[in-house]
Amino acid sequence: MLSDEEITSEKIRNPVGEPGEGFGVIEAARGTLIHHYDVDEQGLIKKANLIVATTNNAGAITMSVRDAAKGLIKNGIVNDGLLNMVEMAFRAYDPCFGCATHCMPGSMPLIANIYDRNEKLIKSIRRD
């Protein structure tokens, strides 16, 4: 492919249309994606703003993780199986979370802090 003249040509850019701003909203597997771009006369992006599903779902993800942990943790006992179930709470919203945070498959870092009803830290478990 490196010797293909069309691939290595300097004529790889599409012609520039009108400069200005544009945006798009699309539903994807992870949820709603919002893209906003500002392009100059040369077709170069001067500004880009991306709002991804994780941002839109952050509040709900946080509450689901909290509720899953409260429902699953009993007497301060936590193990890998429990951490996997808590992780499932946010993966329901964002199955791509591992890649989105640049983690290698199978190595989703997670810290579980266990508090008693008086908000005293009982135990902290790390998986990284």
- For the segment 66-95, the average pLDDT, to the nearest whole number, is 83
Of the pLDDT bands very low, low, confident and very high (cuts 50, 70, 90), residue 100 is: low
pLDDT of residue 25: 94
pLDDT of residue 49: 92
pLDDT at 99 over 70: no
Co-location of 70 and 94 in the same domain? yes
Co-location of 67 and 117 in the same domain? yes
The whole domain housing 16 covers: 5-51
pLDDT digits (tens, 9 = 90+) for 27-72: 877 788 899 999 998 888 899 998 887 788 888 888 998 999 889 8
Report how many domains make up the chain: 2
Co-location of 86 and 112 in the same domain? yes
The Cα 17–Cα 39 span in angstroms is 10
Sign of the dihedral defined by the CA atoms of residues 85, 86, 92, 95, in that order: negative
pTM of the model: 0.52
Strand ranges across the sheet with 45-51: 20-28, 31-39, 45-51
